[in-house]
Amino acid sequence: MNSHRFFHRVAAVLATVLLLGAGAHAAPAAGGRTEYSLVEGWRFAFGEQHTEQSDASQWQAVTLPHTWNRIGGHTTKAADANDTRGKGWYQLSFRAGPTAEKPRRTWLQFDGASIVSDVWLNGVLLGRHAGGVSAFRFDVSDALRPGENLLVVRTDNTAPDTKGSVTAETLPMGGDWFMYGGLYRKVSLITTAPVHVDLGDHGGPGVYARTVSLEPGRARVEVVAKVRNDAGAAQAVKVRTSLVDAKGKTVASSTQPLEMAASVLREVKTSLDVAKPRLWNGVVDPYLYTVRVDVLAGARIVDTVAENFGIRTMRFDPDKGFFLNGKPLALRGVNRHQETGANGWASSVAELERDYAIIKEIGANTIRLAHYQHPKEGYALADRMGLIVWAEVPLVLLSAPYGEPNATPGFIANAEQHLRELIRQNVNHPSIAVWSIANEPNIANVWMQPKPPTVPLLERLAALSRAEDPSRPPVLASCCGTLPGSLMPTTPGKGLDSPPQAVDVFGVNVYFGWYYANVADLSAYLDEVHAFYPKKAISVTEYGAGGALSQHTDNPLGGPIIAGGRPHPEGFQSFIHEKTWPQLRDKPYLWASWLWNMFDFGTAIRMEGDLVDTNDKGIVSFDRSVKKESFYFYKAHWNPEPMIYLAGHRYTERASPVADVKAYSNAPTARLSVNGRDLGSVDCVERICLWRNVVLGKGDNQLVVTASLKGKALRDRAVWRRADGPGTYRVLAGQLGVTQTSAGLYGSDNFFKGGEGKLLNEPVRRPPPPKVVQGAADQQMYLGYRTGRFSYELPLPDGEYALTLRFVEPVDKQAPGQRVFDVLVQGSVALPDLDIAALAGSMRALERKVPLRASGGKARIEFVPKAGAAILSSFSIDPR
């Protein structure tokens, strides 16, 4: 009989006898080991008033995974939203069967509980685990009773900056995501024979494998098994280590006798030579073997641990990038939080698989699992799909507890614990390329005092990572001190240390065109970082922009983006990605890049775009129901499957009578028709197919884009509606977003040349009371302005029109004569020596109407300064 079939059959028999009663679900396991999920029958209560001895009869009935928190994904606070942090209590009654009794050993395993957890079994305090993202176990052999047992768990996700918080020295200190509370992953009981593979190794499997050499036609795999004897007497056992291929055939095996004294832990190291190995080769061929360790007493298997494993090598070159199995591989991918929508961290495996299927669809070949340890099923999915993984610990925001000038001993110990647990629990996954020791660990130093030093702790963690796993480099993601002394990219700072000094491989988080600088400046900045660290391998760990599904723009350059507020037009997000990706792709020294983020996610610090408590930088919506335009831009670049996508599916009510029509496709050319009228084909440059200045008629406009690739006909369509005809314009000068006003739908600034778009109210997180324009029929028409010397040239059918211009003087108490300019229409002065301060004063609306005669299919309006800068708030054009 095949050995795999045998141990699964044994497990199936044993699965019927360990536990009886509430909360127990059997899962097949190997050899003499049994594992039972405790997911049903729990009772839950929140609050300080409860204790481990509280009567849970009135508590809420819950099933694991569970969290009491609900946050994100809504335009306003949802009725069931709950961002309360504190103590969550859980109780479970269950019955233990005879196979859980001594001499067998029983362990209670938590796959994840947030953040600090205290656990009691039958009134006995088993211990505390400080860390909300890794697995942990307690030996319950002495506390477990035959028959009825009572398990009580207190989880506490109080923020670390709360006075007296139990999490004050527990990672993370903060971050732009929400730390959900509760038993949000599975809980289970594991029983073993007295001699067994160790379960007390920081939540790890007790079996650790790595490829130590790979040559043509041959590989050597080293396996370390930690075996423990919990019996009261010495035991003679054998340890058999095998490598099994995907068909169940053993391709290499070694057996060693082992004399185990009482209560001792031994390490067994085995080298397995594999002839003609099939390599784990990323998305091309993610081939998996199984490393299996059997503990045998005579001919009987008393314990087995089986771990998926892939034979592969990885290398990082400072100039040439990433190498998998000796061959260069350009890594392009996404970041992901473990949140899966409305259920937060309490997600099912089905939800996880759904997320990874979307990642596969976009064509990514790497994933950065930010900013903490993810569920084990996520790493396993990456193994099977061939995704290269950046794995990370939650050292974020600060490298010391709040208010402390240096990392405290408790904080350092907790950081080391997180890193050790991450590595021990996940080291066998072939998908993992690096261990990240931090993300933006000194970002809070920009605005907080004191400024704890970052590099000493990072160097300590890097050394620990190398000691735990010499086969993978320690890495980190830097933003605010990438170059020594800098606070933000291209901005001189005051004495911040530089995190990349601690490692040989690192990433930079860069938000050019979003939080700072111009998106076109990214390339030069990356070259600067590469030149400063010529011997370090560099990646880009974050980049992107917010994208709101209900907010739109006619021109992503129409005005300044309000990164920390509203609006966040979906088209602006697309623009940032369109301009960023080619710069990253064309840097051979970048070993990887990950866009931020794959999915919108919850965070309690944001009110941006069209959502509350949500980071909207995802290229897929919070509930996964909508793939944003940017998703299809990357799919066109990364996924070879023929595709075409017409941008603007959600911008259906159109403000402008003339629009650029854009499609994403990996076909070389595409064709457009509007209401059946063929507008011809264009080349799809950088996978972008663009038709300029398409005229839209009044009413419905049916747009159809078509293409062909590899013999497959491609098609997409949308309907754009116009309330007015082609001779009507409504434009908000200096504003980025399309806005509904009392006078109809106004478009973002467009068709301009020169000048600068500005906002009346400063886009800061805690703005002063907004400025109010006196005498304005609608404030929306005055919230931005274009200033300087500028002009507009608008496509317009020949004829007579009325041009309405709106102005406001934004400078408080501006004296007359400080800002004087002419307004020219079709080359003739229509408004000479316009002085807003003299005519209306400061912060008071001024409106002027002038006639406009269009000829040659266009209208030109010019703003020519005489003193100071010209200015315009909004304008409209209507047929006469």
Q: Tell me the DSSP string of 247-296.
A: TS-EEEEEEEEEEE-TTEEEEEEEEEEEESPPPEEGGGEE--EEEEEEEE
Evaluate whether 363 touches 635 at the Cβ level (below 8 Å).
Answer: yes
Residue carrying the six token digits 């679900």: 25
The kind and range of the H/E element at 328 are strand 327-328
- How far is 25 from 92, CA to CA, in rounded Å? 14
Evaluate whether 842 touches 810 at the Cβ level (below 8 Å).
Answer: yes
One-letter amino acid of 394: P
The kind and range of the H/E element at 13 are helix 3-14
- How far is 281 from 303, CA to CA, in rounded Å? 31
Residue 872, φ and ψ in degrees, nearest 5: -150, 135
- How far is 166 from 404, CA to CA, in rounded Å? 16
- How far is 385 from 506, CA to CA, in rounded Å? 24
- Looking at the DSSP bridge assignments, the partners of residue 864 are 822
Cα 298-300-304 angle, rounded to 5 deg: 115
Cα 188-194-199 angle, rounded to 5 deg: 45
* Beta carbons within 8 Å of 122's beta carbon, 6+ residues apart: 143, 144, 145, 149, 150
Cα 109-111-116 angle, rounded to 5 deg: 90
756 belongs to the catalytic site: no
- How far is 43 from 24, CA to CA, in rounded Å? 15
Q: Tokens representing 845? A: 């609306």
Evaluate whether 868 touches 818 at the Cβ level (below 8 Å).
Answer: yes
- How far is 652 from 630, CA to CA, in rounded Å? 18
Q: Tokens representing 170? A: 């527990």
The dihedral through the CA atoms of 352, 175, 568, 539 has a sign that is: negative
* Beta carbons within 8 Å of 85's beta carbon, 6+ residues apart: 69, 157, 158, 159, 162, 179, 181
Among the listed residues 593, 484, 481, the one whose alpha carbon sits nearest the alpha carbon of residue 538: 593
| Number of other CB atoms surrounding residue 269 within 10 Å | 11
Q: Which of 440, 468, 578, 809 is catalytic?
A: 440
Among the listed residues 244, 347, 223, the one whose alpha carbon sits nearest the alpha carbon of residue 2: 244
- How far is 560 from 562, CA to CA, in rounded Å? 6
* Cα 638 from chain centre: 18
Evaluate whether 172 touches 394 at the Cβ level (below 8 Å).
Answer: yes
- Looking at the DSSP bridge assignments, the partners of residue 488 are 491
Residue carrying the six token digits 């038709």: 691
Q: What secondary structure, in 3-state letters, does 107-149 show? A: EEEECCCECEEEEEECCEEEEEEECCCCCEEEECCCCCCCEEE
DSSP reduced 3-state for 358: helix
Among the listed residues 35, 175, 39, the one whose alpha carbon sits nearest the alpha carbon of residue 115: 175
* Beta carbons within 8 Å of 195's beta carbon, 6+ residues apart: 227, 228, 229, 230, 231, 235, 237, 260, 295, 297, 302, 303
Judge if the upstream peptide bond of residue 216 is cis by omega within 30 degrees of 0.
Answer: no
Residue 363, φ and ψ in degrees, nearest 5: 95, 15
DSSP reduced 3-state for 339: coil
Residues known to be catalytic: 440
